[in-house]
Amino acid sequence: MSHLLQLNDVSVIFEGKTDGVKHTIPAMVDVNLSFDSGEIVALVGESGCGKTTLGKVLTGLQKPTKGELFYKGKNVWSMNKAEFAEYRSSVQLVQQDSYAALNPAKTIFQSLSAPILQNKIVKGKKAAHEKVCELLRTVELTPPEQFLEKYPHQLSGGQRQRVLMARAISLNPKLIVADEPVSMVDVSLRLSILNLMAKLNKEMGIAFVYITHDLATARYIAKNGRLAVMYLGKIVELGSVRNVLAAPRHPYLQALLTAVPVPDPKVAKGKRELPLKSLEMPSISNPPSGCAFNPRCPYADETCVLVQPKLDFHGDDLVACHHAERIPEWKLVTLAK
């Protein structure tokens, strides 16, 4: 059976310019990834590693430079109109900046009713009103009437993010790409938004791709799902959250996990060294040869400089590292001394 959404050797290479000199930015390189109905996949990585680009490819906003995107087994970029329309409404996006994602000149009702009217989910203003209220209730904005006539700037960040959620589910999608949906939301509210996503996943069967740089929240939302770790445009580790966090293989992921702060002073204050050679993130437009992580990797050797590692099974999970077997085991619990 085909996957809901599948990336097949997808690369996205931007043309960039600095100081007037043209160069290429490989924002995504040979990514293979698939998503099934109802699952939650968390995608983590540092800033600029290509997460948003991947999200854009999934939502059809960015045509891959190379490779294919399949929706239910059909290549999205050679679909006919009807198929494409179905794909379009089935894969939705929730953006990071809830303020920028809403038209400041339109009320919440206007913003929410336009897509359902245009996509003929409902007919007539009245039905639209009903539907919008229902959506708002679903995302726990009650009473809905209170929000309909408000402008985006009149809502709090958390509320706006819920509106985005409501808009995303309005077309009855099968999958929602949520690109850092909570990074701009206040700490005290983040969790409730994540819970909302979990609820939508559970109750409506919507699959989520949760893009973040925060491993802790990724773990929280995708506790039963999968985790993909990106580094400089490539997937370096992929597997179930449980497995991956319990036994991270890739030295980059290990470093990342080491750096994640822990809300417990006893643990946090324990001395840890970052397992890294260098702190500087290489430029994505000029990635290192071989394994992109090699300049920072404490285990790197000549092979790493020369040969690009493939994403391969190590245990149940996929890892892209020449020395995956050799690298010392790293356990979260070792933190807690």
Partner 1 sequence: MEENLVEIRNLSVEFKLKRGTIRAVDNVSLDIPKGKVTALVGESGSGKSTLASAILKMVSSPGVISNGSINMNGENILKMKQRALQQYRWSNVSMVFQAAQNSLNPVVKIKEQFIETYLAHKKAPEKEILAKAAQLLEYVRLEPKRVFESYPHELSGGMKQRVMIAFSLLLDPDLVILDEPTTALDVITQDYIFDILLKIHEELAITMLLLSHDISVVAKVADRIGVMYAGKLVEVGDIFEIFTNSKHPYTAGLIKAAPSLLEDLEHTVPIGGSPPDLLNLPSGCAFHPRCQFAKDICKQVTPPMEDVGENHLTACHLHHAVEMGSVN
Partner 2 sequence: MTVKIVLKRVGTAAITIVLATVLTFLLLRLTPGNAIDQWAREYSIQYNISLTDAYERIARMINYNPLEPIYRQFVRYVSGLAHGNLGYSMVNQGLSVNEIIAKALPWTLFVSSVSLLISFVVGIFLGVKMAWKRNSILEPIVSLYSVVTNAVPDFIFAIILLIIFAYGLGWFPINGAYDFYLTPGFNLPFLLSVVYYASLPILTYVITLIGGWALMMKGSAIGVLGEDYVEAARARGISESRIMDRYVKKNAIIPLVTQLAVALGAMLGGAILIENLFQYPGIGYYMAEATKQRDYTVMQGILLFIAITMVVANLISDLIYSKLDPRIKVEE
Partner 3 sequence: MQRTVDFFKIICGNRRSLVGLIILIFFFLMATVGPFIFKLDMGVDYENRYSGPTWDHWLGTDYGGRDTWTQLVHGSKEVITIGFLTAVITMIFGSLLGMISGLIGGKVDTGIMLITNLFLTIPSFPIFIMLAAILSIRDPISFALVLSAWSWPGLTRAVRSQVISLKERDFIVICRVMNLSLPHIVFKELMPNIVSYLAINFVLIMRGAIVGSVGLMMLGLAPYSPTNWGQMLSLAISQTGGIFNPNGYIYVLSPIVCLALFQLGAIFFANGLDEALNPRLRGNA
81 scored as a contact of partner 3 (CB under 8 A): no
Asked if 333 and 258 count as a contact pair (C-beta separation under 8 A), the reply is no
Among positions 81, 187, 203, 329, the unique one binding partner 1 when judged by CB under 8 A: 187
Give the residue, chosen from 52, 159, 201, 212, that forms a contact with Mg ion under the rule CB under 5 A. Answer: 52
Q: Which residue from 3, 8, 11, 14 is in contact with ligand ATP, where contact means CB under 6 A?
A: 14
Residue 278 C-alpha from the chain's centroid: 26
Tokens (6 digits) for 170: 């309005």
By CB under 8 A, how many residues form the interface with partner 3? 28
Q: Between vectors from CA 262 to CA 211 and to CA 179, what angle results, nearest 5°?
A: 10
With vertex at residue 329, the alpha carbon angle to CA 323 and CA 330, rounded to the nearest 5 degrees, is 115
Residue 153 buriedness (CB in 10 A; 0-12 / 13-18 / 19+): exposed
19 binds partner 2 (CB under 8 A): yes
Binding footprint of partner 2, residue count (CB under 8 A): 5
* Using rule CB under 8 A, residue 47 touches partner 1: yes
| 259, interface contact from partner 3, partner 2, partner 1, none, CB < 5-8 Å by kind | partner 1
- Under rule CB under 6 A, residue 67 binds ligand ATP: no
Check: CB of residue 115 under 8 Å from CB of residue 170: yes
- Tokens 């179930």 label which residue? 240
Quick one: 51 or 323, whose CB is closer to Mg ion? 51
Among 3, 72, 74, 88, interactor with partner 3 by CB under 8 A: 88
Residue 201: alpha-carbon gap to chain centroid: 15
Contact 312, 320 (CB under 8 A): yes
Examine residue 287 and tell whether it contacts ligand ATP (CB under 6 A). no
Tell me which residues touch Mg ion (CB under 5 A): 52
Tell me which residues touch partner 3 (CB under 8 A): 59-61, 85, 88-89, 91-93, 95, 97, 100-106, 111, 114-115, 118-119, 151, 153-154, 167, 171
